[in-house]
Amino acid sequence: MTTLIETTDLTRILHETVPVTLVRDVTLSIGEREFVAVTGPSGSGKSSLLYLLGLLDRPSAGTLKIRGRDAEPMSEKERAATRLANIGFVFQFHFLLPEFTARQNVEIPMRKLARLTRGEMRERATALLTSLGLEGHLDKRPDQLSGGQRQRVAVARALANDPPLILADEPTGSLDSKSSEQVFAILEALVNERGKTVVAVTHDLDMAARMHRRIHLVDGRISQEEGARAGL
């Protein structure tokens, strides 16, 4: 299996008046086509770990490699470019831009990468939204959509540049059980049908049990790993 992300003793300490350890000595390796749950009690560092894996935050110690490249020496610009091409984010709250339509929200990350023409961007955004069951909602703004629909737009936006890795922070956390199941099924299909890797923070242990593997954090450390890749 090809490794996408590899960390060694990843640690993040906030240097406040009293130092706060968010993530401590996390060593892990995540490969292509994996569906990984990050679980743990509230405040155990799940979001902090996800931010580090997504190059949204820098570690205080330890190393992180993304597709074999050490992130440490990267400039902010290189980190942003690496994120844009390799990682899609889905958060608990959709963070769609309220003044833009669903389709425009999906096109925005494509514009930043500037690989496609305007027509191609429009076509791709339409295809992505259609594949997520939103064909009737392309020109609606977020406030005209239900919570589940908004989260599906957020997933389409995460897929805009066809990244190999999707990082999701409680992607179903604000949804009712039906929408939550729908979004889960979409994430599962991203792995099984589109060959993506999905790493999702979740409080829902039933959901975590349906994923390939679980990384359980306590006080910022990995306390338990189930279904871990052979050889780790």
Ligand X SMILES: Nc1ncnc2c1ncn2[C@@H]1O[C@H](COP(=O)(O)OP(=O)(O)OP(=O)(O)O)[C@@H](O)[C@H]1O
Among 14, 61, 97, 205, binds ligand X (CB under 6 A): 14
Q: Which stretch binds ligand X (CB under 6 A): 14-22, 59-67, 68-76, 96-104?
A: 14-22
Q: Please, what is the minimum distance in Å from the beta carbon of residue 48 to ligand X?
A: 3
Nearer Cβ to ligand X, position 46 or 83? 46
Task: State the nearest-atom distance from the C-beta of 44 to ligand X, in Å.
Answer: 4
Residues 20-59 within binding reach of ligand X (CB under 6 A): 20, 22, 40, 42-48
- Give the single-character DSSP code of 142: G
H helices then E strands: how many in the chain?
7, 10
Q: Which is nearer to ligand X, 46 or 124 (CB)?
A: 46
Tell me whether residue 109 or residue 171 sits nearer to ligand X (CB atom). Answer: 171
Footprint of ligand X on residues 112-151 (CB under 6 A)? Answer: none
- Angle CA 75–79–80, to nearest 5: 115
- Closest approach of ligand X to the CB of residue 120, in Å: 37
Backbone angles phi, psi at 90, to 5 degrees: -130, 125
d(CA 208, CA 113): 33
CA distances from 38 to 63, 118, 175, 221 (A): 19, 37, 19, 12
Kindly state the smallest distance separating residue 22's Cβ from ligand X, in Å: 5
Closest approach of ligand X to the CB of residue 20, in Å:
5
Task: List residues bridging with 5 in a β-sheet.
Answer: 30, 66
Sheet with 221-226, edge to edge strand ranges: 87-90, 165-169, 197-201, 35-39, 213-218, 221-226
Sites for ligand X among residues 61-90 (CB under 6 A): none
Q: Which is nearer to ligand X, 52 or 156 (CB)?
A: 52
Burial 80-106 (b: 16+ CB within 10 A, else e): eebbbebbbbbbbebebeeeebbbbbb
CB of 78 to ligand X, least distance (A): 25
Binding site for ligand X (CB under 6 A): 14, 20, 22, 40, 42-48
